[in-house]
């Protein structure tokens, strides 16, 4: 087991780099839960394979998979994708993997958060979650990277950074009573600064409409770089998302980042709205925690993409809006290649491309 430090990353000179910085590896986890993924998770598995292949052309990919699914995953994935047997409860690597910090001197360490399935016994989506909560430490061990145990509940999808001193999050998620009810907003903010080496935390009010993670920031915005924000948008005043996007835009238009920059905001129109079909809902085993019923609105978002080594993996979700989303992202990332992957099957499980990936930064 790699060393776990009892100090704080910021005090040790470490900070979380932006997602646009170079990556050594992308981690993913193989989907198989029948109460979250329809038809025995086979459609989702096919989509995860396509995402992994698109990433692996520019960044090495490791897929964790249960013992029962190992042979299946290994046979479906190309040889250049590493497959590692590891126990998980589901497949949201963004939230269960380590958040990496670096020090600019060629060292990196992982931060292990506490994971409680987006709400624990208050409004968590499944139980148990003990295997998910061990993943971050296991990944650090595989890379022989030293780490920190933060000791409070956080998911990787609830934070975004510009890599230049600014962290973006939102109150709906981090201040939710199901996360860290014994901590004040000020204490949570200080802990984020201490563990991620940040100078300023920007707190948006809400997350995307009907997001079952209590509104993860990575569904509402993406940080394209210092002072550049991609924002999920709609012009439809009858859509409940309209007010949320308006509030976020007004808020972001009136803040400055850690370096005093005003923010350039790129609006990307949300897909749909998208809803579960009868057929999709019928293919899922019923469970208590997750709403998977026909007519249920899904939290579809083009902001939920991955940036890795000069490439963007963009979820394709709606033929009416996919091309427009690609154009907006190309403006925000003029040097990047944009590769689209049909991603409805990931959305059916409650997230998207960003949610199922976690990067290991290069040092």
Give dist(CA 70, CA 64) in Å, integer: 9
Q: What are the E-state strand segments in the chain? A: 4-5, 23-29, 61-65, 82-85, 99-102, 108-114, 147-153, 160-161, 166-170, 200-204, 221-225, 228-233, 264-269, 306-308, 311-316, 337-342, 358-361
Sheet of strand 264-269, all strands in order from the earlier edge strand to the far edge: 221-225, 228-233, 264-269
Name the catalytic one among 28, 173, 355, 356.
355
Nearest to 347 by CA among 211, 206, 159: 211
Give dist(CA 294, CA 276) in Å, integer: 5
Longest dimension (CA), the chain: 54
In contact, 270 and 300? CB cutoff 8 Å? yes
Note the Cα 269 to chain centre separation in Å.
Answer: 19
Question: In this structure, is the dihedral angle defined by the CA atoms of residues 83, 125, 95 and 136, taken in order, positive or negative?
Answer: negative
Let me know if 355 is a catalytic residue.
yes
List beta partners, residue 267. 231
Give dist(CA 308, CA 8) in Å, integer: 27
In contact, 297 and 273? CB cutoff 8 Å? yes
What counts of helices (H) and strands (E) characterise the chain? 12, 17
- Please give the positions annotated as active site: 355
């Amino acid at each position: 087991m790699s060393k776990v430090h009892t100090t704080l990353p910021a005090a040790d000179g470490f900070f979380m780099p932006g997602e646009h910085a170079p990556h050594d590896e992308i981690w993913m986890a193989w989907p198989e839960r029948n109460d979250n993924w329809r038809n025995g998770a086979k459609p989702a598995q096919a989509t995860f394979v396509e995402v992994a292949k698109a990433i692996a052309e520019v960044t090495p990919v490791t897929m964790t998979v249960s013992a029962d699914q190992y042979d299946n995953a290994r046979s479906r994935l190309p040889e250049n994708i590493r497959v590692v047997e590891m126990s998980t409860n589901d497949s949201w690597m963004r939230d269960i993997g380590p958040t990496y910090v670096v020090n600019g001197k060629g060292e990196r360490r992982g931060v292990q958060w506490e994971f409680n399935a987006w709400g624990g016994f208050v409004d968590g989506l499944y139980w148990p979650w003990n295997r998910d909560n061990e993943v971050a430490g296991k990944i650090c061990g595989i890379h022989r990277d030293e780490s920190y145990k933060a000791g409070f509940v956080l998911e990787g999808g609830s934070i975004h950074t510009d890599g230049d001193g600014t962290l973006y999050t939102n109150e709906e998620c981090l201040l939710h009573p199901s996360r860290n009810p014994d901590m004040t907003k000020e204490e949570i903010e200080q802990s984020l600064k201490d563990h991620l080496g940040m100078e300023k935390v920007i707190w948006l009010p809400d997350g995307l409409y009907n997001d079952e993670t209590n509104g993860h920031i990575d569904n509402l915005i993406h940080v394209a770089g210092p002072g550049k924000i991609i924002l999920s948008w709609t012009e439809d005043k009858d859509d409940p998302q309209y007010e949320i996007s308006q509030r976020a835009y007004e808020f972001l238009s009136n803040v400055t980042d850690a370096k005093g920059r005003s923010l350039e905001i790129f609006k990307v129109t949300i897909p749909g709205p998208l809803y579960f079909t009868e057929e999709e809902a019928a293919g899922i085993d019923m469970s208590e925690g997750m709403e998977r019923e026909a007519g249920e609105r899904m939290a579809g978002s083009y902001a939920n993409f991955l940036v890795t080594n000069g490439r963007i993996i963009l979820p394709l979700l709606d033929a009416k809006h996919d091309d427009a989303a690609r154009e907006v992202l190309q403006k925000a990332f003029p040097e990047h290649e944009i590769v689209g992957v049909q991603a409805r099957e990931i959305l059916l499980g409650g997230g998207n491309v960003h949610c199922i990936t976690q990067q290991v930064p290069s040092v």
